[in-house]
Amino acid sequence: MKYLSILTLVPLVGALAVAFVPRSRPQLAKQLAMLVSLVVLGVAVATWLAFKTGAGAPRLQLQESYNWIPAWGAKFAFGVDGIALVMIALIALLVPLVILSGWHDAERSQRSVPAYFALLLALEGMMIGNFVATDVLMFYLFFELMLVPMYFLIGSFGSDVQPKQRQYAAVKFFLYSLVGGLFMLAAVIGLWVLGGHTFDWQTLTDAEFATNAQRWLFLGFFLAFAIKAPFFPFHTWLPDAGGAAPAGAAALLVGVMDKVGTFGILRYCLPLFPEASRWFAPWAIALSLVGIIYAALLAVGQNDLKRLVSYTSIAHFGFIGIGIFAFTIQAGSGSVLYMLNHGLATGLLFLVVGMFVARRGSTMIGDFGGAGKLVPVLAGVFFIAGMASLALPGLAPFVSEFLVLIGTFTVNKTVAVIATVGIILAAAYVLWMVQRTTQGTLNDKLRDIEPMKKDLSLREGVVVAPLIALLLVLGFYPKPVLDVINPAVQATLNGVVSPERSDPAPATTVEAGK
Amino acid sequence: MVATLINEQAEAVVYAPATGLLSYMWLLIAIPAVSALILLLAGKAANRWGHWLGVASVLASFVLGLTLFFQLRNLENRSVVENLYSFIPVGNLRVDFGLLFDPLAACFVLLITGVGFLIHLYATGYMAHDEGRRRFFGYFNLFIAAMLLLVLGNNYVMLYFGWEGVGLASYLLISFWYGRPAAATAGKKAFLMNRVGDAGLVLGIFLMFAWLGSTNYEVVFNNIGTLGSTTVLLIGLALLAGACGKSGQFPLQAWLPDAMEGPTPVSALIHAATMVTAGVYLIARSNPIFSENTTLQTVVVSVGAITLLLGCIIGTAKDDIKRVLAWSTVSQIGYMFLGVGLGGGAYALAIIHLLAHGFFKANMFLGAGSVMHGMNDQVDIRRFGGLYKYMRITWLTFMMGWLAIIGIPPLSGFFTKEPIIVAAFSRPGWTGWLFGLAALLGAGLTAFYMTRLFILTFHGPKRWTTAKEGLVDQHPHESPAVMTIPLILLALGSIVAGGLMVTSVPQWLEPVLGPETAEHPKIAHGALTALSLVLTVAGAGLAYALFRKGTALTPQPAGVLVTAARNNLYTDAFNEAVFEKPGNWLTRLLVFVDNKGVDGLVNGLAAAVGGGSGRLRRLQTGFVRSYALSMLVGGVLVLGAFLAVQLGWMG
């Protein structure tokens, strides 16, 4: 089975099909989009099952290769490792939920329904393309292409409250990403020149680059990824984009698209430029560390729900960042697991915020207050999403945050201690947000708003239930995912540091019950 | 520093695999957990019977716990573990979802499920007319499950799992009436202050992994002796930070009195009998770590002594019946910290005081709830008086709790508090005098404020609110049987528990906490007992003389000390001035800088590189000064972080 090419093509073809549905038949467009996204989910599950774990399993699996531009040595080459597989599963899971949650988004803003859902599917295909590519040029292509559907999702279908703000956010998002992409393009060309005129990831990984060249190439890739992720100080586009995008698109933007940045660091920066990675690691960690504290403090100070959630994500990306550059197996696996869990948790949070905003017609926290009295179940889901965001044990993000911190601590105690302050700040922004929105005296204005009286609908319940269930299951039993992630992370680290350095804590032989 | 070396001085800790019925210990946690899930998911359909399911699940856990306790007694090695599954396996980090049932865990299991059952039963009456009753019992069951996980875990990650779980339940129950701003704020405060302590606890776990390669009790305890004393001190201080947060000890005590915003059964179960003693459990459980380092023990003892006096002093000045009891809890847990800090035989003393306290404090909280139930939720003791005639059972049972806490023989407090005072005086050197006198002074103050509470509530003239003042007319009445039966049982516990436990429980705990040690107090044992009794009677007598004729209906102008005590000795004001206000300013400053500066700077860059973006460029004009500011701030931040990173790698 050609799992990976199918996974990439199905949503792209589906997007075309949905785009050609006449505007007069919105229902057909929705159903078709949902069908396509479910097919993708099915293929993703099959891919997961076909992926081998355990000793002896190769790092890149399910490979396919097709000629593209023979003169440059560029190919359409597919293949996944455990890291990419987890991200693909996350995309395949989130997209149907986003489609369902955005069932009425386009009508509400009186825009083309088929276009909206076609854009979502196109985005899905392009995001998957990033993760399945094993050809650097193909990766670059998808990295840039995926900006286009997101640009339109923000600019044309975003928040109606401030149309100007929406345009500004879309342009800003596009320009930031484009600038990052240009740096990467330069690096990709440099890589091709120095690496023996090939774009093949495996060949390039085996190649050796001179120290200086490595550092420049690393910087080119890293800048693009740091903007995408985003790391401090390249983060300011995200609150605008996250604040203006429709909730579902925001969930995809922050939940998955930004992870291309951290994925890129793991897949390209570390294996291709190991010496440069070690050399830049202190700086990368410093940026991440500032991000954790700085963005968390900013989240505390936000008055707009969607911007607040965006800032929490920047803080979370800081954790992922230190985890990657600590170069230990615990921190590295923690980071990858964090990428998945953050997608689930923040995805849920954005979707629930979207449900509140759709009812209230405002994203301002001050326009809520005591909403729990009117919509207790929705408020409960909001609370669970918040608890996931602050990494409460029992919910998936705890495991990843714990791994990142404990893995970092073994090699750099100062960094881990400062980052641990972040878990206190996380409690502050989540609880403060929950209190101002759902607790306390009921805001009198809410009483007059008819939609505020409707609690979680069946459709919304179907959207949030799988996410909550997964957060719980992975919170109690993360091993199946760790088994997929660990070998890929170990392989990544082996290229950068020695095995003793990547697992520095003493092994214990005295175990309980023996 | 090879982690596999077994410390030869201390006896090795060996846990046996659980067999037979004991391998079902996970059910202890699973039963209330499943019940909580049902209650929270079932919806309105379960409104009619939900609370009984909640009560039944705790009873089932209690019965199972009792059975397992008897099983354990028959074993040679009374520490059995069960690893359910591999939880977090990455590299050398191997965390199992594993449980440990040993004498210490058994004590807590019986306390949590036993007292927990009585309070659940009581709550069916107390919450009978609350529309959120089913949700309440869901949270209550969730708490029981999390608390059992906390005490049953066989490694520090499991403990932390339960630790955060009880924190969650505590938050949900404090802000149970979330429509009240005060309740919502109190819940948030509790969660946040606990998180500060939790950050310490996780750092302790990280230290163990970094130096010993494991978070398992067995591995950590057997190898702690291989570590240097500074390392042990750091681990211990980190754990202590967590313990202080959860147990409301100085300097993280401010959240506990505010937690009284929750329904009274919550105050009784979580904020008096069980959860707030988790810090004591943590230190007792980690006794191989704490006994390893005398500096560490001195810090624990100091925290205990400071807190026990702080709680007493503030307790004398409060007028809200639940807040007096809350400060009393803070103070009594201070005694327990004193005990676990003294180490040696005093570990077990702290645990029996903890168990006895579980009975008499739960008893008094539920009694307070019963009084509020009969007095239209009035909590001001200035507006009670003469209630003994109207609420005979509440009065009598409360009296047992009062006599028990102030330590009148033969009630339980006498047997459990007095040995801690003796142990404090037995500490070598001048610190023995210091901590001993603190504990003794605390006993006198406790007698004073508890007697004030008791007399003002049940005796003296009636000072009830009336319709004439524009307040409700009071018609006090006794509570229904479902509430008074738990009161009677807990009162019985308050009477006999101490005497029954004073020798049997320390013996039972010997495999975990070590043997009893001979005490050599600075004052002869008998004289010390007499002295503490005299102080107790004096304190109680003074309070009786002052308050037997009642008191003013509103707080009167008072001297410096009383005013300070009424304001929690300005600890809240300190927190506000040092953490809250500057935190707010910092946040606001950063929001400004981020919107105007960092954003503007990078926007400008983007516009310049991207070119042709007139829209963006127009937004930039006039922000040049902010660019400069942001470049400075950003540069300083990144450089500072970079230095921290470098420092960490060197260290």
Q: Which of A262-276, A345-359, B268-282, B553-567 is least confident?
A: B553-567
* Angle at which helices B346-374 and B481-513 cross, to 10°: 170
Report how far residue B49's alpha carbon sits from residue B55's, in angstroms, rounded to the nearest whole number.
10
Q: Contact B386/B460 with Cβ under 8 angstroms?
A: yes
> Between chains, do A510 and B588 touch, taking CB under 8 Å as contact?
no
Mean pLDDT across A463-488: 95
Domain that holds residue A9: 3-513
Q: What is the pLDDT of residue B607?
A: 53
Which percentage of chain A shows pLDDT scores above 90?
A: 72
Q: What is the pLDDT of residue A511?
A: 45
Q: What is the pLDDT of residue A446?
A: 85
Report how far residue B638's alpha carbon sits from residue A208's, in angstroms, rounded to the nearest whole number.
31
Report how far residue B174's alpha carbon sits from residue B626's, in angstroms, rounded to the nearest whole number.
44
| Edge-to-edge strands, sheet with B93-101 | B16-17, B80-90, B93-101
> Between chains, do B90 and A513 touch, taking CB under 8 Å as contact?
no
* Angle at which helices A305-325 and A396-409 cross, to 10°: 40
Q: CA dihedral defined by A350, A353, A359, A363, rounded to 10 degrees?
A: -110
Using the Cβ of B203 and the Cβ atoms of chain A, whether some distance falls under 8 Å is answered with yes
- Does the structure show a pLDDT above 90 at A42? yes
Q: Which residue type occupies B101?
A: F
Mean pLDDT across B133-150: 95
Q: Which residue type occupies A469?
A: A
Q: Contact A431/B192 with Cβ under 8 angstroms?
A: yes
Q: What is the pLDDT of residue B597?
A: 60
Report how far residue B341's alpha carbon sits from residue A307's, in angstroms, rounded to the nearest whole number.
47
Report how far residue A177's alpha carbon sits from residue A148's, in angstroms, rounded to the nearest whole number.
11
- Residue A265 token pair: 């660091």
Cβ-based burial of A469 (10 A; exposed 0-12, middle 13-18, buried ≥19) = exposed
- Residue B376 token pair: 């239209």
Q: In terms of Cα–Cα distance, which of A23, A176, A14 is closest to A106?
A: A23
Mean pLDDT across B394-415: 92
Instruction: Name the residue facing A373 among B179, B192, B217 (closest C-beta).
Output: B179
Report how far residue B45's alpha carbon sits from residue B57's, in angstroms, rounded to the nearest whole number.
18
Q: What is the pLDDT of residue B536?
A: 93
What CA–CA distances, in Å, run from A189 to A192, A198, B573? 5, 10, 61
- Residues in B closer than 8 angstroms to A301, CB to CB, are 587-588, 590-591
Q: Contact A168/B606 with Cβ under 8 angstroms?
A: no
φ, ψ at A56 (rounded to 5°) = 85, -10
Instruction: Name the residue facing A290 among B588, B616, B641 (closest C-beta).
Output: B641
B-interface mutation test, from A171, A175, A443, A444, most B Cβ less than 10 A away: A175
As a whole number of Å, the end-to-end CA separation of chain A is: 45
Q: Contact B87/A479 with Cβ under 8 angstroms?
A: yes
Report how far residue B633's alpha carbon sits from residue B429's, in angstroms, rounded to the nearest whole number.
52
Q: What is the DSSP letter of B594?
A: I
Q: Is A448 left (phi over 0), alpha (psi -120 to 50) or beta?
A: alpha
Report how far residue B226's alpha carbon sits from residue B211's, in angstroms, rounded to the nearest whole number.
10
Question: What number of residues does chain A have?
Answer: 514
Q: What is the pLDDT of residue A460?
A: 93
For residue B122, the number of C-alpha atoms closer than 13 Å in the C-beta half-sphere is 33
> Between chains, do A512 and B98 touch, taking CB under 8 Å as contact?
yes
Q: What is the pLDDT of residue B140?
A: 95
φ, ψ at B347 (rounded to 5°) = -55, -50
How close, in Å, is residue A19 to chain B by CA atoms?
A: 30
What's the per-residue H, E or C state across B68-99? HHHHHHCCCCCCEEEEEEEEEEECCEEEEEEE
Query: Residues of B numbered 46-105 whose beta carbons fall under 8 angstroms of chain A's beta carbons: which are they?
Result: 81-83, 85-94, 96-98, 100
Mean pLDDT across B508-513: 88
Tally C-beta pairs within 8 A across A and B: 264
Place of tokens 């994500």: A313
- Residues in A closer than 8 angstroms to B223, CB to CB, are 508, 510
Place of tokens 């005979």: B392
Using the Cβ of B612 and the Cβ atoms of chain A, whether some distance falls under 8 Å is answered with no
Mean confidence (pLDDT) of chain B: 88
Report how far residue B510's alpha carbon sits from residue B103's, in angstroms, rounded to the nearest whole number.
8
Question: Within a 10 A sphere around the Cβ of B84, how many other Cβ atoms?
Answer: 13
- Rg of chain A in Å (alpha carbons): 22
pLDDT tens figures, B587-624:
888 887 777 666 655 555 555 544 444 444 444 444 55
- Residues in B closer than 8 angstroms to A182, CB to CB, are 609
Using the Cβ of B181 and the Cβ atoms of chain A, whether some distance falls under 8 Å is answered with yes
Q: Which residue type occupies B498?
A: G
How close, in Å, is residue B86 to chain A by CA atoms?
A: 7
- Residues in A closer than 8 angstroms to B602, CB to CB, are 176, 233-234, 236
Which percentage of chain B shows pLDDT scores above 70?
A: 92
Q: Contact A84/A268 with Cβ under 8 angstroms?
A: no
Name the domain count of chain A.
Answer: 1
Mean pLDDT across A25-34: 93
- Does the structure show a pLDDT above 70 at B626? no
CA-based torsion, B489, B490, B492, B496: positive or negative: positive
- Residue B493 token pair: 């516990």
Query: Residues of B numbered 160-179 whose beta carbons fall under 8 angstroms of chain A's beta carbons: which are they?
Result: 160-161, 164-165, 168, 171, 175, 178-179
Place of tokens 């930004």: A258
Q: What is the pLDDT of residue A422?
A: 93
What CA–CA distances, in Å, run from A372 to A448, A469, B301? 15, 22, 44
Q: For B619, which residue in chain A has the nearest alpha carbon?
A: A168
Instruction: Name the residue facing B598 among A176, A236, A510 (closest C-beta).
Output: A236
pLDDT tens figures, B27-64:
999 999 999 999 999 888 888 899 999 999 999 999 99
Mean pLDDT across B376-403: 91
pLDDT tens figures, B444-465:
999 999 999 999 999 988 888 8
Q: What is the pLDDT of residue A136?
A: 94
Which positions ≥6 away from A131 have C-beta within 8 Å? A80, A84, A87, A88, A91, A260, A263
- Does the structure show a pLDDT above 70 at B5? no
Mean confidence (pLDDT) of chain A: 91
What CA–CA distances, in Å, run from B388 to B74, B358, B462, B465, B476? 47, 24, 11, 17, 10
Q: What is the pLDDT of residue B353?
A: 93
pLDDT tens figures, A405-417:
999 999 999 999 9
Using the Cβ of B199 and the Cβ atoms of chain A, whether some distance falls under 8 Å is answered with yes
Question: Within a 10 A sphere around the Cβ of A152, how many other Cβ atoms?
Answer: 20
Cβ-based burial of A209 (10 A; exposed 0-12, middle 13-18, buried ≥19) = buried
pLDDT tens figures, A438-461:
998 888 888 888 888 889 999 999
Q: Which of B1-5, B463-467, B554-558, B581-585 is least confident?
A: B1-5
> Between chains, do B184 and A439 touch, taking CB under 8 Å as contact?
yes
- Does the structure show a pLDDT above 50 at B101? yes
Q: What is the pTM of this model?
A: 0.92
> Between chains, do B591 and A298 touch, taking CB under 8 Å as contact?
yes
Report how far residue B72's alpha carbon sits from residue B65's, in angstroms, rounded to the nearest whole number.
10
Q: Contact B259/B314 with Cβ under 8 angstroms?
A: no
- Residues in B closer than 8 angstroms to A232, CB to CB, are 634, 637-638
Q: What is the pLDDT of residue B606?
A: 52
A-interface mutation test, from B90, B221, B587, B637, most A Cβ less than 10 A away: B90
Q: How confident is the model at residue A65 (pLDDT cuts 50, 70, 90)?
A: very high
Residue ranges covered by each domain of chain B: 294-570, 578-650
Beta-bridge mates of residue B90: B93
- Residue B343 token pair: 């180490």
Mean pLDDT across B624-643: 69
- Rg of chain B in Å (alpha carbons): 27
**One-character DSSP codes across A96-163:** HHHHHHTTTHHHHTT--HHHHHHHHHHHHHHHHHHHHB-BHHHHHHHHHHTHHHHHHHHHHHS-SS-H
Q: Which residue type occupies B223?
A: N
Report how far residue B529's alpha carbon sits from residue A46's, in angstroms, rounded to the nearest whole number.
75
Question: Within a 10 A sphere around the Cβ of A514, how many other Cβ atoms?
Answer: 10
- Residue A140 token pair: 């670059």
Evaluate the omega torsion of the peptide bond into residue B251 and state whether it is cis, within 30 degrees of 0.
Answer: yes
Using the Cβ of B15 and the Cβ atoms of chain A, whether some distance falls under 8 Å is answered with yes
Report how far residue A204's alpha carbon sits from residue A272's, in angstroms, rounded to the nearest whole number.
7
How close, in Å, is residue B138 to chain A by CA atoms?
A: 13
Q: What is the pLDDT of residue B598?
A: 60
Q: Contact B358/B528 with Cβ under 8 angstroms?
A: no
Q: What is the pLDDT of residue B647?
A: 78
- Residues in A closer than 8 angstroms to B219, CB to CB, are 508, 510-512
Q: Contact B125/B527 with Cβ under 8 angstroms?
A: no
Report how far residue A215's alpha carbon sits from residue A221's, in angstroms, rounded to the nearest whole number.
10
Instruction: Name the residue facing A282 among B184, B185, B646 (closest C-beta).
Output: B646
Q: Contact B336/B349 with Cβ under 8 angstroms?
A: no
* Angle at which helices A396-409 and A376-389 cross, to 10°: 20
Q: What is the pLDDT of residue A165?
A: 81
For residue A130, what is the enclosing H or E element? helix A113-132
Q: Is A241 left (phi over 0), alpha (psi -120 to 50) or beta?
A: alpha
Instruction: Name the residue facing B206 among A289, A406, A482 (closest C-beta).
Output: A406
How close, in Å, is residue B571 to chain A by CA atoms?
A: 20
Q: What is the pLDDT of residue B611?
A: 45
How close, in Å, is residue A475 to chain B by CA atoms?
A: 9
